[in-house]
Structure 1
């Protein structure tokens, strides 16, 4: 199949040199890092697909915005520019800046969760679920079953299963539901979007029972693009209009500006309820900083305000998703097992099918991240049993149905030629897959173990 090329909607005016080390050097370095790519130095990585969070390239307008930073301790004009951007493009009334999305997750969890309350969601994300659990909440997955099937080609695998959600509400009582945690798109399912039609039905159900929807909107523009492209009846709408429609169906949002908003640090909590806003303003002073900066420099708030506007530009978002599908389609054509359909922020390798000889307790997805680094200097991240953590009651691992490796593509950073090299390295790894060994964990931190765990290869 001929590769589908699409020209970048930008030109490059600054470059950062990268260097590919020898295979023997890479083998030595990943072993010294405890077979965990998070522990590698950035200079030891050739193509870094560890995450798309905070790793994108800012525009000339954003860099110019940095020079307009007002670093006043209180009332920075950059806060009001950010507030105006959130109100214009997302429609939420109130904004509380945080140092990144995790700070917003912490605030909303402390505000809305009482011990023993349930937090349903369309699949978990590690930091989100951890904050919910630290506040005493119990996460319940209410995503459609297709999301757990890497072979399903359902176009909106981020959809909420309405029957699962209603069953939970009726069994526990609406008063015991802290809120519905709803992500656009769903990271752990492979960057899969939720449909607008499903969200409308979810909103109707939650209003009927008095349950809030808190929106994880880190990649809402990517989700809106997939609605525009694949959900009937929305092709005539702009991405910006669909983004605002999505947000209007929720009560508040946590945002990592390091994704859609195209900045390297920062986030916010957005709310419509003034009472919750006043509470959040008070809490943010305790944990982050004044409510008009919340752990961010004024210059970074300015860059985020500009990035929000850029994130919904049609050419930008179309090319951003095109790069992901460009890589995904090459791998599919080569017979590499990937999650279908290809999502929006990265390509997810199906590690269970890639390495069927490695049992799940030997961390096959983590082993595959090691092999990809050894082969091509590519840094990726595990999204399987390691990321799922342990069951607090039994002490055993959680055993997710999906055992994946995520290749997250930073925005406006790599060219299609870089992605060609990634594809070639993955194909070479696949040919040598039978020689890849499983791993055993030799160090396990208490929280979000995938960041700092260390391993040794099974002999």
Structure 2
């Protein structure tokens, strides 16, 4: 008999979590104005809101924290991280920041100006926010297969080269500061980009003189999918694949809270020293001196170890196996999800799950609230709320995909927790016709509204 899969680590410390009642959760979500971001952590049983900064660090990372150098300038921890970035990712220059959106803010302050056009593959919410805040436009060039949740295309994060060239050929190069390739592509379902596509995007971009920038939050998960799904790389190590991936980028931003396996931190890395000099001005203004940016020395130490661990040994198999475990359980029960299962999260197709709820009533948010009420599980809407309003018309943008994202923290929950999530969704699926309304907005911010939006039951605003 073949031995079953088991995690290649054991648990050394545990954190208690509280099991609430449905009545408690009903009152808590009402007090939170039906926005799951507003819940207190102790009001959540299983927290799948994000995998960003919520994972468990290894014993080697904790040991590295104890040797952090907190010198304001010239910290040895900075040089440990600099060496890791050079050796693993191949970039000569980098600037530490406190997280990924800070890296975007610094880099885009150099590169993006009003009326610019920034193509990419389903830009992440903060990426699009930083672009549109500067009165530029983000253009989605993702392949069409990404928007068919039943398609089994192995690389749904790929950019459509025809769409990309259409952007390049209809705008002057000086109006296109970069193309952004998100690895893996979060907004389309944690879907990977193939090595061939990275190579082709690089070749096309160099033809038009456009910079290639990777949003690299989940670069290691992307490398794992390349190893598993591209025959040419079956026998390559993750480190070898990562090195080739980044050979096709001029610069990168990183939210280290994902594939850095740390609780805080980020960075910008680049191959051009002149870009480093320009970005340094904004990094010092927004983040801190260049050898610490927005990070403590101890966190830079932990990140240097994390970048090595995420590209070595057992980590990726354990990580992606658990995400697949939850996804396959939902598929088995007929619950519609984005296929194939992505690297960091399971994305439930809310339109197919709650198709009778009007799109104006925020279908994915409605499903997220139902899941919290059912079992105290917190997910996040990746749909109309996140898509925000058109900056010119101020009308809602209705994306092709309306998803409930269940992002799984790294090395944090067991498969028993995944079973609870799966059964909770099955219970809701079985009674889905009873959910006869969604929600409407009471109050919202002018940009990236999903973080702070206040909602109420839509039935209150319906005409009798």
TM exceeding 0.5: yes
Partners in 1 of 2:149 and 2:4 — Cα distance? 26
Aligned partner of residue 348 in structure 2, secondary structure: strand
List runs of 5+ in structure 2 lacking aligned partners: 460-464
Shift of 1:115: 1.3
Give, in angstroms, the shift of residue 135 of structure 1. 2.3
Runs of 4+ in 1 over 3 A off after TM superposition: none
Question: Using the alignment, how far apart are the partners of 1:287 and 1:34 within structure 2?
Answer: 32
Alignment-derived partner of residue 380 in structure 1: 379
Q: CA deviation at 1:209?
A: 1.0
Q: SS where residue 233 of structure 1 aligns?
A: helix
Which residue of the partner structure matches residue 65 of structure 1?
64
Structure 1 residue 413 displacement after superposition = 0.2
Equivalent position of 2:107 in the other structure = 108
Mapped to 2, the partners of 1:441 and 1:435 lie a distance apart of: 22
Answer whether contact 2:189 2:342 (CA < 8 A) is retained. yes
Kept in 2: contact 1:238–1:314 (CA 8 A): no
Shifted more, 440-449 versus 36-45: the winner is: 440-449
1:34-89 CA deviation, whole Å, 9 max, x = no partner?
11111000001000000000000001111111111111111111000000000011
Cα distance in 2 for partners of 1:161, 1:262 equals 31
TM-score (normalizing by structure 1) = 0.98
1:1-400 to 2 correspondence within 5 Å? 6-400=5-399
Q: Is the 8 A contact 1:365 1:383 kept in 2?
A: yes
SS of the residue 1:35 aligns to: coil
Tell me if structure 2 keeps the 8 A contact 1:239–1:314.
no
TM-score (norm 2): 0.97
Partner of 2:458: 458
Q: Secondary structure at the match of 2:314?
A: helix
**SS of corresponding position for 1:412:** coil
The answer to whether the Cα contact below 8 Å between 2:443 and 2:454 also exists between their aligned partners in 1 is yes
Q: Which runs of 5+ in 1 are unaligned?
A: none
User: d(CA) in 2 for partners of 1:198 and 1:457?
Assistant: 44
CA distance in 2, matches of 1:448, 1:112: 21
What CA distance in whole angstroms lies between the structure 2 residues aligned with 1:124 and 1:248? 21
Distance 2:107 2:100 in 1: 11
Asked whether the equivalents of residues 213 and 250 of structure 1 are also in contact (C-alpha less than 8 Å), the reply is yes
Residues 398-438 of structure 1 deviation map (CA, whole Å, 9 limit, x = unaligned): 11010000000000000111111111111111112122231
223-232 vs 144-153, which moves further: 144-153
Aligned-residue RMSD, C-alpha: 1.0
CA distance in 1, matches of 2:448, 2:132: 12
